[in-house]
Amino acid sequence: MGRAMKMAESVFGVRARGSTIGRELRGGLVTFVTMSYIVVLNPLILGSFVASDPEAKRDVLGAVLPVPQVAAATALVAGVMTLLFGVVANYPFAIATGLGINTLVAVTIAPQVSWPEAMGLVVVDGLIIMLLAASGLRTAVFNAVPTTIQCAPPCASL
Whether 135 is in a domain gets the answer: yes
pLDDT for 98 equals 77
Task: Tell me if residue 90 falls in helix, strand or coil.
Answer: coil
- What is the per-residue pLDDT across 61-98, written as a single tens digit (0 to 9) for each? 999 999 999 999 999 989 998 888 888 887 778 888 77
**How far is residue 86's CA from residue 21's CA, in Å, rounded to a whole number?**
16
**Angle, CA 148 vertex, CA 145 and CA 152 arms, to 5°:** 110
**Residue 83 falls inside a structural domain:** yes
pLDDT in tens, 91-108: 778 888 777 888 888 889
pLDDT of residue 157: 56
Domain-embedded: residue 157:
no
Domain count, the chain: 1
Which residues span the domain enclosing 125?
3-151
Q: Do 105 and 118 form a contact (C-beta atoms < 8 A)?
A: yes
Q: C-alpha angle with apex 77: 48 to 133, nearest 5 degrees?
A: 115
Residue 144 within a domain: yes
The answer to the question of residue 158 being in a domain is: no
156 is a domain residue = no
Q: Which residue in 24, 45, 139, 138 sits closest to 97, CA to CA?
A: 45
